[in-house]
Structure formats: C-alpha cells, structure tokens
Amino acid sequence: MADTQKSATLTIGDDSYDLPIHSPTAGPDVLDIRKLYGQAGVFTYDPGFTSTASCDSTITYIDGGQGVLLHRGYPIDQLAEKSHYLEVCYLLLYGVLPTAAQLEEFETTITLHTMLHEQMQNFFRGFRRDAHPMAIMVGVVGAMSAFYHDSTDISDEHQREIASHRLIAKMPTIAAWAYKYSIGQPFVYPRNDLDYASNFLRMCFAVPAEDYEVNPILSRAMDRIFTLHADHEQNASTSTVRLASSSGANPFACIAAGIACLWGPAHGGANQACLEMLKEIGSVDRIPEFIARAKDKDDPFRLMGFGHRVYKNFDPRATVMKQSADEVLELLGVENNPVLQVAKELEKQALEDPYFAEKKLFPNVDFYSGIILEAMGFPTSMFTPIFALSRTVGWISQWKEMIADPQNKIGRPRQLYLGETSRDYVDIEHR
C-alpha cells in the first residue's frame, strides 16, 4: 500500500472523522474511506465510479490530462515502436522486460498452447452461422472451464500460470475460428513456426486450397494493434473481470465476463460502431450533419471513436494507430479509401469544433483501429473480438495481481436506496 502521511477530516454535524490519504507513485492522492461506514454510518455515492479507486495496482498508469499511458512504467509509444505483443504480455504479467532467454521460453510456451481441444469445435457448430463472433467468444471461453480442469483452481499458483498461458495462446484460435465459422470456411489450425500475429492472420485468411503467405507489414500492424489494446487500468471490462474473480470464480468464467462487458458500443464495441458510423456518414459533405447530431442533447447519437472517461487529451494509442493506418492503407493501395477520407475530415472538423474542444473529446483508440482492420479484410463484426483477444493479457494480469493481493475480498458495492420503506402485504381482494 502507498505511504500514508496525510489525512482528511470529514465533519458531519457535530462529529468529525479522520480519513487517511494515500499518496501514489503517480496520479492523484486517494482518500481511504474503508472505515467510513463503520465510523460515521454513511456511504459514499459515485455512480460510474468516476472518482473512485477500486484497488491499488502496479500494472498500468494513465494520465488522462497529459495523454500518457504507461505499462509497468514504459510509455505505450515506445512499446509500440520497439517491442512486440508477446514481450508486452511478459511485461504486463511479470512486471519486467524479459531477457532474451526468458522471452524465448515464454514465446515457446505460448506457441505450444495455441491449439484448442478438438471437441470444442462442437461449440462453434452449435451457433447459427450469422452469430456475432463475440457471442461465440463468450460461449467458448466460458466453456474452457469444462475442458481445462487442471487450471481452474485459483488457489494454486501453478494452475493460475497455466490458465494465463492457455488464455493468451488460445484467444487468437478462438477468434479466428469464430470468423471462419461465420463465413462457412474450414477451421485453419495454428502453426508453431509462425509468430503470434502471423499465426492469427493465417488462421483467419488461409484456405486449404492454396498456400498463404503472411505479409510482414500486415503482421507488424496486427501485432501493434494487439499491443495498443493490451491493458488500460480499471476500465469497465477489467473491473468486470476483477469483480467476477473476487467471488473465487475460475479464470475462464471471469474472462468470459470481461468479454461480455467489452462487447458494448460504449467500450470495446466502439471500433465496430465507429466504422459503421463512418460508412453511414458516407461522404465528407455529410460530416456537419452528424457533428450537429452529436452536439444535440436531444439526440442520443454520439461520435463513435471520440471521447473517453479518462483521456481529456489525445489517446496516445490513437496517435500510434493513426501512423499504422497510413502505413497499411498505403501498402494496400487504399490510401484513397473513402472511409479513411471521411475519418480524416471528421477528425479535423471535430477537433476544430468548440463543442468537442470544450468537452475535451478527442479520437480514442477505436477511431483508427477499425479502419486498419477493415483495410486488412476483416468484417466489422471481428473488430471487437480482436480487441478482446488483445485485452486478454490485461485482464489476466489484473486478475493475477488481485488474487495475490492480501487485501483481496469479494466486491460488494452498497447503494442509495430510494424505494418504498417497509409496508404490509395487501390481499388481492383489497387492491
């Protein structure tokens, strides 16, 4: 726990209560209210947890005002430029950058866990072909607890380690097979001679009828997308995983809960919603109409890919993603992609509009990722599964940290009750 040199005094009526203040290594101080209800008989009230720290953590730090994102202290732009996804996975899981020998051992371990139990193919075939891949991922990942019994005991550190490796390794296979099933093509098995991102692209786009060569620029861009989505503090899906895990549920069930939460358009579903919005706008001359709708309080329309609960500056991931978008689209000869033209003009007009400037609404990670994924040939329905694949290491790292935390207890928020006070039952003949 951080150091506690200061305290705050809360006065309610004639009574005063001292609340300890903990100072972090970075970010705002926190007011420790754990004893508040016992001392003062009051709850705090913070729907959406905009001012509430649910835990302490050493994994990821965000400075929303400065547009800073650190993983174990390393800035995301340096990791995106110099590292790669499995090395970032090691960093998130173990807290340090691996030596060459450690990295090789880790990558080999992950590679040897990429296959799924053959019977799990039956789960895919139980879905309609037009099932959303996120529905399949929630189902198949939850079902892993019925197949990998030797890694469900969370009190056993060795089993926690194996479950972590299995989830990181198998998510690309699950996501790729969900895609193949939706287009009626045969499942493509992972290959041990390919790196993580190349394996995923091949499982998605190869067919048995011909050889498939992974384009190194596309696999590098794919790996960068994985890295940029790896972890992000206590976002909604990570908080879901932590809350599910606090009851002692097995890791596969908890990750399935995280996938379900990520699916929402306000969270991980925003990349799909963003591209669908850009296509609905269709041409740059319609942008003012949609910006006006986004500003209209009576219109529920939001600019997908803009705004963030924490970032009130540019999302540093969006900056890196924008560079990748330019590289991929130039490689694919689609830099004149009409969707990208709309995206670039929308970004320009929104950033020049006082409404977005005042409310500090900047493009977030989802604004450009969808454009890259579409250019690579993914349908919009695969955007959020790719986000879930990437974020699995973040969920797992936060899960491991929570289980190892001696303060860990079941999460159980209270409420501000505004319902009826106690009243007697009325027989139906007297109603």
DSSP alpha helix (H) spans, 210-315: 216-228, 236-245, 251-262, 270-281, 287-295
Identify which of 111, 94, 339, 80 has the alpha carbon closest to the alpha carbon of residue 229. 80
Does 343 interact with ligand SDX (rule: CB under 6 A)?
A: no
> How many residues touch ligand SDX (CB under 6 A)?
20
Q: Closer to ligand SDX at the Cβ: 343 or 361?
A: 361
Q: Closer to ligand SDX at the Cβ: 117 or 359?
A: 359
Q: Is 366 a catalytic residue?
A: yes
Does 293 interact with ligand SDX (rule: CB under 6 A)?
A: no
Q: Closer to ligand SDX at the Cβ: 98 or 385?
A: 385
Does 306 interact with ligand SDX (rule: CB under 6 A)?
A: yes
Q: Tokens in use for 54?
A: 């649910």
CB of 305 to ligand SDX, least distance (A): 5
Q: 19 - beta bridge partners?
A: 8
Q: Which stretch binds ligand SDX (CB under 6 A): 181-189, 217-225, 278-286, 300-308?
A: 300-308
Angle at 51 between CA 20 and CA 245, to 5 degrees: 90
Determine which residue in the list 172, 305, 316, 370 makes contact with ligand SDX, applying CB under 6 A.
305
Does 307 interact with ligand SDX (rule: CB under 6 A)?
A: yes
For residue 8, the surrounding DSSP H or E stretch is strand 3-12
CA distance linking residue 33 with residue 18, whole number of Å: 10
Q: Closer to ligand SDX at the Cβ: 113 or 232?
A: 232
Q: Closer to ligand SDX at the Cβ: 22 or 302?
A: 302
Whether residue 147 contacts residue 119, with contact meaning beta carbons closer than 8 Å, is answered with yes
Phi, psi of 387 (to 5 degrees): -65, -45
Does 277 interact with ligand SDX (rule: CB under 6 A)?
A: no
CB of 229 to ligand SDX, least distance (A): 6
Determine which residue in the list 169, 243, 260, 303 makes contact with ligand SDX, applying CB under 6 A.
303
CA distance linking residue 197 with residue 213, whole number of Å: 13
What is the DSSP code (8-state) at residue 283? S
Please tell me which residue in 308, 315, 405, 430 is annotated as part of the active site. 308
| Residues 312-331 within binding reach of ligand SDX (CB under 6 A) | none
| Residues 157-196 within binding reach of ligand SDX (CB under 6 A) | none
DSSP symbols for 158-199:
HHHHHHHHHHHHHHHHHHHHHHHHHTTPPP----TTS-HHHH
Q: Closer to ligand SDX at the Cβ: 205 or 356?
A: 356
Please tell me which residue in 285, 366, 424, 430 is annotated as part of the active site. 366
Determine which residue in the list 270, 275, 346, 389 makes contact with ligand SDX, applying CB under 6 A.
270
Whether residue 365 contacts residue 315, with contact meaning beta carbons closer than 8 Å, is answered with yes
Quote the crossing angle between the two packed helices 216-228 and 365-376, to the nearest 10°. Answer: 150
Q: Which stretch binds ligand SDX (CB under 6 A): 83-91, 126-134, 218-226, 302-310?
A: 302-310
Q: What does the CA dihedral 181, 183, 186, 191 come to, rounded to 10 degrees?
A: -80
CB of 294 to ligand SDX, least distance (A): 4
The 249-268 site mask, x for binding ligand SDX (CB under 6 A), equals -----------------xx-
Q: Tokens in use for 422?
A: 């106690």
Whether residue 162 contacts residue 396, with contact meaning beta carbons closer than 8 Å, is answered with no
| Residues 134-153 within binding reach of ligand SDX (CB under 6 A) | none
Angle at 237 between CA 299 and CA 271, to 5 degrees: 50
Q: Is 71 a catalytic residue?
A: no
Size (the chain), residues: 431
CB of 302 to ligand SDX, least distance (A): 4
CB of 239 to ligand SDX, least distance (A): 9
DSSP alpha helix (H) spans, 66-156: 76-82, 85-94, 100-111, 121-125, 133-143
| Residues 350-369 within binding reach of ligand SDX (CB under 6 A) | 359, 361, 364-366
Question: Catalytic residue positions?
Answer: 308, 366
Interface residues with ligand SDX (CB under 6 A) are 232, 235, 266-267, 270, 294, 302-310, 359, 361, 364-366
